[in-house]
Structure 1
Amino acid sequence: MNAVHVTVLVVYLVVMVGIGAWFSRRSQVAGSDDYMFAGRRLPRPVLVGTLLATWVGSGTIIGGANFAYTYGPFASIFFFAGTPVGILVLFLIAGKIREAAKRTVPELLEARFGTSTRMVAAAITLLAYVGIVAYQFTGGGYILSLITPLSTGQGTIITGLLIAFLAVGGGLLSVAWTDALSALVIVVTLVVALGYVFVQDVGGLGSYADQLAAPMLTLTGGLSPLQLLGYFLPLFLLILADQNMYQRLAAARDAGTARSSTAGFFFGSFLVTVPVTLLASASSFLLPGIEPDTAVLSLAAEGYTPALVGGLILAGAFAFIVTTGSSFLLSSAGNVVYDLYARFARTEPSDRRRLGVHRLSVLGIAVLAYVLGQFFPSVLALQVYAYTVYGVAIAPAVFAVLFWPRATTAGALSSMVLATVTTVGWETAGLSDQVNAVIVSLPVSVVALVVVSLLTGRTTQEPDRRGQTSGAG
């Protein structure tokens, strides 16, 4: 146990808890809109930071590091490419998302496809987001076990409690500001660590290439093109329809802030994914035989970086995981409140009651996430599963709302249900060891959406883009 690492982590946690407590005050969170959207007043630097920290959590620091450690830097290009490509698409539609200003993605779908679609989408979102929260818990447990005498299981419980505290307290305000701080710290320390490790421990790029295993020097890392596509698509599809991204863009001051913040998110993502790729792949020969999930974290924990830098990497990575978990926890609880509770309440719930239900939902989902996390062998496995469930079921329907007027309710429902059943069935049968489920479930989703929509046409009961009914055609 390194005293510097422990000190840095404790100081960092105190700061995060302090920010959470500050924004938990009644004057900062006066109602459900403040809790969910930070009063729709997030400034550009904070919005860039929260977009980056929300997306780059355990899935990058641990799941992405696992991939780079196992398959090398070139194959990692395909793994991480889904992020910048997806961000470019978000940039093009950021203004439209801000103007729509929906609380949840299922609410966006309901405006076009009706109540039944919203209910199914809410259930799918909860199924996927609970999984994403679960691997943040596990990722935080890994980090605490490296810094302290705690076991991974004990660290997972502590991480879950901290994540729940931030989400329950100040909502998006506390999450966004801790995100911005974490993004700044982790970007700076990863870049510094990369320079230090490559100069002091690796011996430069030439020595790096010489020490990598032969398969890692190939473009595919020993994977087939179909397997590479199976890793690219989940990230790409998730970011296209990620409810967290939509909610943060809706929390911007205006459409212009939303677009410019997305551009900052695009460039910032490279400052995290490139160092993670290079550090994790270097770890494959500096620290052979370690748990791949800890490829970057072990470099910091085992003294391959200066103690202060290593402590900041570990603390920053932990903070990224905590804020990402808080974001997905807050977002999925929003599905319970707005898509289920408020939608079917006999009378319109008061703002105070919605806020109370939101906070209780956060706690309930945290418990479910912890239980789910016990059934997956690694962060990477749970990550790919959760991304795939959400991406293949929700992204095609969302893009149909935005770009394809001929899509129908029957088509959207068929797409979502068949995509989810296919993904869960594929995972349950253990077939993802050969080919990730997205390779099968995405075509099923898109074909179902297109074919069923063309066969059914629009019905007299189906709302159009303006929320009105239209005739058959």
Structure 2
Amino acid sequence: MQTVHLVILAVYLLAMVGVAVYFLRSGRLGGGDDFLFAGRSLPRPVMIATLLVTWVGSGTIIGGANFAYTYGPVAGLVFFAGTPLGILVLLLAARRIRRASRHTVPELLEARFGTGVRTVAAAVTALAYIGLVASQFIGGGYVVGLITPLSATQGTVLVAVVVTLLTVTGGLFSVAYTDFLSAILIVLGLFVSLPLVFAAVGGPAAYWDGLPEAATTPTGGLTALQLLGYFLPLFLLLLADQNIYQRLTAAKDERAARASTVGMLVSSFFVFVPVVLLASAAAVLMPGINGDMAVLALASEGHLPAVLGGLILAGAVAFVITTGSSFMLSAASNIAYDLYARFAKGAQGEAGGRRGLAVQRGAVLVIAVVAFALGLFFPTVLELQMYSYTIYGAAITPAVFAVLFWKRATTAGAVAALVVGAATTIGWQLAGTPGDVNGVVVALPAALLALVAASLLTKAPDPETLEAAGVD
């Protein structure tokens, strides 16, 4: 623990609380829609930053760093390649997503497939996103434990409190503007760290020679099927990530949504490339450490100047807090718009107003408690990350892309994809991930087969239904 690190973290946390208090007192939250979409008034730089930081949380700085530390830089780049490839696909759909302008992904599915599909999708989405909130809590606890006298568990509690406070006060207003500050902090810290760490290793040649032999191979010692099992969850989640869809819906117009997606694509390279290089360099400098700590240990163990190390550690906390608040906000929207507004007596049409605002805030508190409990079940951020990505990507993504790009898909096909994708993921996890292959390798084909088979065996949707979806 270094005093400089502690001071930098304290200043950052106070700044986050200040942002939360500002938006709580600003009077800009007129109802549930403002809580979720920030009045569709975010400037483009803030839009780009919130898209980026929503995506790169502890799954990048901790889970992804663990992967690069363990399997090497080439395999690490394959792991992260799902991000730019997924964004390129999103570029094709960005205008359609903004034009559809739905509160949640399950609401988008309902327009095409009906209320039953929306309910099932809401349950799957909330389950996956609570898992992702839990991964942010755990990751934040690791970092706080490095910087302060607190244990990792106590740090997790502190992060959970800050994330919950940030989310419950200002909604997307608080989240987006703290995302902007966090993006600047972490990108600057990562890039300044790179030459210093490579100098400590002895230069590029010494770095490569110092890597374990398996880490210099294209697959890092994994089989092609195992590597695919790590690539696909990230790629699939991004394709239909409700967080990203909600950010694009929060854009001023379709043009702004597409431009912000391009900005996210470019800026993503400024995060995952340095993370891969730093984490794999840590394998040379500090062999045998917990892979979750790869980038963080460079900052905490004296391999970087104290101020720069403090910026990296505070940036890691920044990623955790803003990404956690994003997933928490998104999961709360499922509870308010997909469950409460559909089934609570007299709630129809109230989710976007004051009553819906209260429901979303209450949902945030419940999600915080459940996510903390779930985090106790999984030993590492990477494991929890892969589980949550897969349950969403394998179940939700096929149904969403059927809405956007396949007119022949039917309600029966969507239900089959949701149920089979989620059930296969959970079953594979309970079976202990046979062959050390992530469940997506089995769950995605099963969901796609169920979608296609059930759709072709049932009556095609009529033109009015396709038009009502708003994305035809």
Task: Give the aligned partner of residue 172 of structure 1.
Answer: 172
Q: Against the structure 1 CA distance between its residues 280 and 393, is the aligned structure 2 distance closer, same or farther, given a 3 Å change threshold?
A: same
Aligned residue identity for 1:255? E
Task: Give the aligned partner of residue 467 of structure 1.
Answer: 468
Alpha-carbon distance in 2 for matches of 1:299, 1:38: 37
Match of 1:355 among 354, 357, 365: 357
1:77 aligns with 2:51: no
Deviations 1:252-301 (A, max 9, x none): 11111111111111111111101110111111121122111010000000
Give the SS at the match of 1:466: helix
Alpha-carbon distance in 2 for matches of 1:90, 1:72: 28
Alpha-carbon distance in 1 for matches of 2:299, 2:91: 34
1:377 aligns with 2:379: yes
Alpha-carbon distance in 1 for matches of 2:142, 2:402: 40
Give the SS at the match of 1:180: helix
Task: Give the aligned partner of residue 243 of structure 1.
Answer: 242
Aligned residue identity for 2:465? D
Deviations 1:292-344 (A, max 9, x none): 10100000001111111100000011011000000000000000000000112
Displacement of 1:433: 5.5
Alpha-carbon distance in 2 for matches of 1:413, 1:59: 29
Alpha-carbon distance in 1 for matches of 2:327, 2:368: 10
Give the SS at the match of 1:24: helix
Displacement of 1:25: 2.2
- Identify the range of structure 1 (17-26 vs 99-108) with the bigger mean alpha-carbon deviation: 17-26
Deviations 1:146-186 (A, max 9, x none): 00111100000111011000110000000000001100110
1:310 aligns with 2:324: no
Displacement of 1:26: 5.0
Displacement of 1:434: 1.5
Alpha-carbon distance in 2 for matches of 1:213, 1:467: 56
Task: Give the aligned partner of residue 409 of structure 1.
Answer: 411
Size of the aligned set, in residue pairs, is 466
1:451 aligns with 2:453: yes
Displacement of 1:10: 0.5
Give the SS at the match of 2:25: coil
Aligned residue identity for 1:467? A
Aligned residue identity for 1:84? P
Query: Is the contact between residue 111 and residue 463 of structure 1 (CA under 8 Å) also seen in structure 2?
Result: no
Alpha-carbon distance in 2 for matches of 1:97, 1:43: 19
Task: Give the aligned partner of residue 438 of structure 2.
Answer: 436
Task: Give the aligned partner of residue 17 of structure 2.
Answer: 17
Task: Give the aligned partner of residue 301 of structure 1.
Answer: 300
Alpha-carbon distance in 2 for matches of 1:26, 1:341: 27
Alpha-carbon distance in 2 for matches of 1:26, 1:198: 46
Query: Is the contact between residue 68 and residue 276 of structure 2 (CA under 8 Å) also seen in structure 1?
Result: yes
Aligned residue identity for 1:333? A
Query: Is the contact between residue 75 and residue 219 of structure 2 (CA under 8 Å) also seen in structure 1?
Result: yes
Displacement of 1:466: 2.4
Displacement of 1:467: 3.0
Task: Give the aligned partner of residue 284 of structure 2.
Answer: 285
1:267 aligns with 2:266: yes
Deviations 1:403-443 (A, max 9, x none): 11110000100111011111100000102562110000100
RMSD of aligned alpha carbons: 1.2
Give the SS at the match of 2:465: coil
Alpha-carbon distance in 1 for matches of 2:164, 2:157: 11
Query: Is the contact between residue 113 and residue 463 of structure 1 (CA under 8 Å) also seen in structure 2?
Result: no
Task: Give the aligned partner of residue 345 of structure 2.
Answer: 346
1:29 aligns with 2:29: yes
Give the SS at the match of 1:309: helix
Aligned residue identity for 1:440? V
Displacement of 1:358: 0.5
Aligned residue identity for 1:406? R
Alpha-carbon distance in 1 for matches of 2:316, 2:251: 25
1:119 aligns with 2:119: yes
Alpha-carbon distance in 2 for matches of 1:101, 1:432: 41
Deviations 1:162-212 (A, max 9, x none): 10001100000000000011001100110000111112x111111101111
Deviations 1:337-395 (A, max 9, x none): 00000112322364111100100000001100000000001000000000000001000
Task: Give the aligned partner of residue 106 of structure 2.
Answer: 106
Alpha-carbon distance in 1 for matches of 2:109, 2:36: 19
Give the SS at the match of 1:157: helix
Give the SS at the match of 2:468: coil
Query: Is the contact between residue 114 and residue 463 of structure 1 (CA under 8 Å) also seen in structure 2?
Result: no
Percent identity between the two aligned chains: 60
Alpha-carbon distance in 1 for matches of 2:74, 2:362: 44
Aligned residue identity for 2:196? Y
The ranges of structure 1 where at least 4 consecutive aligned residues each deviate by more than 4 angstroms after the TM superposition are none
Query: Is the contact between residue 186 and residue 312 of structure 1 (CA under 8 Å) also seen in structure 2?
Result: yes
Give the SS at the match of 1:436: coil
Task: Give the aligned partner of residue 215 of structure 1.
Answer: 214
1:96-245 aligned at under 5 Å gives the runs 96-199=96-199, 201-245=200-244
Displacement of 1:119: 0.3
Deviations 1:216-267 (A, max 9, x none): 1111100000001000000000000000000000101111111111111111
Alpha-carbon distance in 1 for matches of 2:421, 2:250: 30
Deviations 1:37-84 (A, max 9, x none): 000111110000001111000000000000011000011121000000
Give the SS at the match of 2:466: coil
Aligned residue identity for 2:378? F
Alpha-carbon distance in 1 for matches of 2:338, 2:464: 18
Query: Is the contact between residue 207 and residue 284 of structure 2 (CA under 8 Å) also seen in structure 1?
Result: no
Alpha-carbon distance in 1 for matches of 2:434, 2:42: 40
Give the SS at the match of 1:155: helix
Tell me the TM-score normalised to structure 2 length: 0.97
Query: Is the contact between residue 112 and residue 463 of structure 1 (CA under 8 Å) also seen in structure 2?
Result: no
Aligned residue identity for 2:61? I
Query: Is the contact between residue 31 and residue 355 of structure 2 (CA under 8 Å) also seen in structure 1?
Result: no
Query: Is the contact between residue 32 and residue 357 of structure 2 (CA under 8 Å) also seen in structure 1?
Result: yes
